[in-house]
Amino acid sequence: MPLEGIRIVSFNHFLMGPFGIQFLADLGAEVIAIEPIQGAFQRHWGGDNAKKAGGETTLDLVANRNKKSICLDLKNPAALEIAKKLIASADVVAENFRPGVMEKLGLGHEALKAINPEVIFASASGFGADGPYVDRPGQDMIAQSLSGLAWITGKTGEVPRLVGTSAVDHHGAMIFAAGILGALVKKTRTGKGARVDVNLFSAALNLQAESLVCYFNGKKPEGSQQPAHIGSWYHEAPYGIYATADRYIGLSLGSLDVTLEALGIVLPFETDPSDAFVRREEISSIVAEKLREKPFAQWASALDARKIWYTQVNDYDDLAEDPQVKHNGDLVQVESWNGDPITLVANPVRYDGKTAPIRLVPQKLGAQTAEVLSELGVSEAQQQMLAETGAIGLG
């Protein structure tokens, strides 16, 4: 495994932090996830009525595989000392508390460098380590709304629309993982640690790089919301999703003239190449009306014959049966810690043709507390005493 031998001590909760660190755990890093005695937020997401599988909330299942779980009350001096011993052995310490929380715990970057001068300190936050928004809560919906992502996802004249998943959390997690990997490369070359800072707000902007660069360069468009059928404000007709007689179809990039020919459409006006954008709403409305006349399979044959890019639009049940999903092994069925079957999404990277394995399913809270403390030389008797005082939680 690429990261075998790398130890990451993770103080992460919710989604962006845990998901980014899970990516590194998938690649072989030993991740020790430190959680409070009652468990991190993701174990309680949704409250008493939360959807659960395999003994855990579904949010916990998303981003906590291949990690060891230990419970420490970091406000307890004895537990804090245990955390510091782990940090002394770590290559990376990762956290996504609000700025200043690690410092209040005595675990800020400067304090960690005194314990482990070569450590990589990786911090994920809502808006960054400083600035006018530093004290604001950072969360995916907030980032989508503030960054313009919800605005450009909405249709012209309608209420701005959130993307149908925590897109910024997921994208931010990959930036978090990439930033840590970059710091690990530097450490390999120089022997020096680094501080890595990633924030949700900047991740939301990065996710829109194509849109933002198109918008702010050249002639500024009249607006940045999607026309009725077009998939973005900066694409031409007929790029977007349409209803056929029996299901939805997505029309991708391609020649407008060839696409219209395939669909049997003769426009009621003369066109030139610029009209694919300038008259896109008018053209896409005609395309939408035509596509409703036949089922998807008939349109697919016509589009295939002219090598036009298109796709069926899958719902999640369709996705589970998609032949490429099955071939790639993107949805993985495993047994949870309590024996129940659960479905996880595989790591998307292959090394030497192999997908990163699931070595540990998301673990029961504190499942490895005893194991990790024993490795630190804490006896069973000492562990029991620490548990009785509330400093640690034994799974």
pLDDT tens digits along 339-378: 999 999 999 999 999 999 999 999 999 999 999 999 999 9
Is residue 301 domain-shared with residue 355, that is, in the same domain?
A: no
Does residue 262 lie in a domain region?
A: yes
**Burial status of residue 139 (CB atoms within 10 A of its CB: 0-12, 13-18, 19 or more):** middle
pLDDT of 49 reads 85
- Cβ atoms of 346 and 359 within 8 Å: the answer is no
Distance CA 337, CA 148 (A): 41
Instruction: Give the whole-angstrom CA distance, residue 297 versus residue 181.
Output: 45
The DSSP symbol for 292 reads T
* 8 A C-beta contact, residue 7 and residue 180: no
Q: Can you list the residues of the chain whose pLDDT is less than 50?
A: none
Say what the pLDDT of residue 270 is.
Answer: 86
- Residues 233 and 227: their CA atoms lie apart, in Å, by 7
For residue 315, give both structure tokens. 């719902």
**DSSP structure string for 225-261:** SBPSSBSSTT--TT-EEEE-SSSEEEE-S--HHHHHH
Instruction: Exactly one of 60, 73, 140, 169 is catalytic; name it.
Output: 169
First-to-last alpha carbon distance for the chain, in angstroms, is 28
Q: Are residues 297 and 165 in the same domain?
A: no
Number of domains in the chain: 2
347 domain-assigned: yes
Token pair for 279: 């008259």
Tokens 């024996």 map to which residue? Answer: 339
Among 265, 295, 317, give the residue marking a domain's end. Answer: 317
Q: What angle do CA 73, 52, 316 make, to 5 degrees?
A: 130
Asked if residue 203 and residue 305 are part of one domain, the reply reads no
For tokens 């939360």, name the residue. 50
pLDDT digits (tens, 9 = 90+) for 228-246: 999 999 999 999 999 999 9
Other Cβ atoms within 10 Å of 318 Cβ, number:
12
Indicate if 263 and 343 belong to the same structural domain.
no
With H, G, I as helix, E, B as strand and everything else as coil, classify residue 348.
coil
Does 276 share its domain with 340? no
Q: CATH code at 261?
A: 3.30.1540
Active site residue 140: no
The answer to whether residue 25 sits within a structural domain is: yes
Question: For residue 199, what pLDDT is reported?
Answer: 98
pLDDT at 50: 87
Q: Are residues 87 and 114 in the same domain?
A: yes
Q: Which residue has the tokens 């004290």?
A: 135
Instruction: Let me know if residue 218 belongs to a domain.
Output: no
CB 122 within 8 A of CB 196: yes
pLDDT value for 106: 97
| pLDDT given for residue 273 in this prediction | 78
Looking at the fold, whether 354 and 252 belong to one and the same domain comes out as no
Domain residues for the domain of 24 are 7-207+329-393
Same domain, 115 and 157: yes
